Amino acid sequence: MNEQTNKLRWGILGAARMTEVMLPAIVEASNAQLVAVASRRPGAATGVLKKCGVGQSSINIYDNPDQLLDDPEVEAVYLPMANEEHAEWALRAIEHKKHVLCEKPMALKVADIDAIEAAAKQHGVTVMEGFMYRLHPQHARAWEIINSGAIGEIRTVRSCFSFLMAPARTYRISRNIEQGGGAMWDIGCYAIHTCRMFFQELPTTVIASYKTIDSGADVSNIGVLDYGDGRYAQFDFSFERARRAEYELIGTKGGLKCHNVWSKASDTPIISWWNEAGEQQEEQLPPANHFRLEIEHFTDCVLNNHPPSLSLEDARQNCQTVVAALQSAQQGQSIKISTS
Ligand SMILES: NC(=O)c1ccc[n+]([C@@H]2O[C@H](COP(=O)([O-])OP(=O)(O)OC[C@H]3O[C@@H](n4cnc5c(N)ncnc54)[C@H](OP(=O)(O)O)[C@@H]3O)[C@@H](O)[C@H]2O)c1
Confidence of residue 172 (pLDDT cuts 50, 70, 90): confident
pLDDT for 336: 97
Cα 140 from Cα 153, distance rounded (Å) = 17
Query: In the 3-class helix/strand/coil scheme, how is 144-192 assigned residue by residue?
Result: HHHHCCCCCCEEEEEEEEEEECCHHHHHHHCCCHHHCCCHHHHHHHHHH
Tens digit of pLDDT for each residue in 204-220? 999 999 999 999 999 99
291, burial (CB in 10 Å: exposed 0-12, middle 13-18, buried 19+): buried
CB 87 within 8 A of CB 110: no
What span, in angstroms and rounded, lies between the C-alpha atoms of 188 and 328? 14
The ligand 1 atom at the shortest distance from the C-alpha of residue 86 is 45
Residue 2, pLDDT score: 77
Residues 303-325 have pLDDT tens digits of 999 999 999 999 999 999 999 99
Answer whether 246's CB lies under 8 Å from 260's CB.
yes
Asked if 176 and 192 touch (Cβ cutoff 8 Å), the reply is no
**How much is the average pLDDT of 331-340?**
92
Q: Tell me, what's the pLDDT at 3?
A: 76
Q: 130 CB under 6 A from ligand 1?
A: yes
Tell me: pLDDT of 167 over 80.
no
What is the DSSP code string of 29-88?
-TTEEEEEEE-SSTTHHHHHHHHTT--STTSEEESSHHHHHH-TT--EEEE-S-GGGHHH
| Predicted local distance difference test score (pLDDT) of residue 339 | 82
Q: Is 41 in the pocket of ligand 1 (CB under 6 A)?
A: yes
Amino acid occupying residue 50 = K
Q: pLDDT value at position 62?
A: 97
Amino acid 106: pLDDT: 98
Rounded alpha-carbon distances, angstroms, from residue 259 to 166, 190, 255, 285 = 22, 15, 13, 11
Give me ligand 1 centre to Cα 18, in Å: 6
Beta pairing, strands 154-164 & 32-38: unpaired
Amino acid at 275: N
Distance CA 101, CA 60 (A): 19
Q: Please classify residue 78 by burial: count the beta carbons closer than 10 Å to its beta carbon, then call 0-12 exposed, 13-18 middle and 19+ buried.
A: buried
Residues 80 and 288: their CA atoms lie apart, in Å, by 21
pLDDT higher than threshold 80 for residue 285: yes
**Which of 95, 69, 43 minimizes the C-alpha distance to 78?**
69
pLDDT digits (tens, 9 = 90+) for 101-142: 999 999 999 999 999 999 999 999 999 999 999 999 999 999
The pLDDT, as a whole number, for residue 169 is: 72
Query: What pTM does this model have?
Result: 0.97
For ligand 1, whether the C-beta of 14 sits within 6 Å is: yes
Q: Is the pLDDT of residue 171 over 90?
A: no
Q: In which band, very low, low, confident or very high, does the pLDDT at 232 lie, cut at 50, 70 and 90?
A: very high
Q: What percent of the chain has pLDDT over 70?
A: 100
* Predicted pLDDT of residue 251: 98
Rounded Cα gap, residues 191 and 235, in angstroms:
6
Ligand 1 mean position, distance from CA 148 (Å): 41
Question: What rounded mean pLDDT belongs to the chain?
Answer: 96
Q: pLDDT tens, 37-92?
A: 999 999 999 999 999 999 888 899 999 999 999 999 999 999 999 999 999 999 99
Alpha carbon distance 330, 196 (integer Å)? 22
Q: Which residues contact 202 (CB under 8 A, 6 or more apart)?
A: 317, 320, 321, 337, 339
Residue nearest to atom 7 of ligand 1 (CA): 18
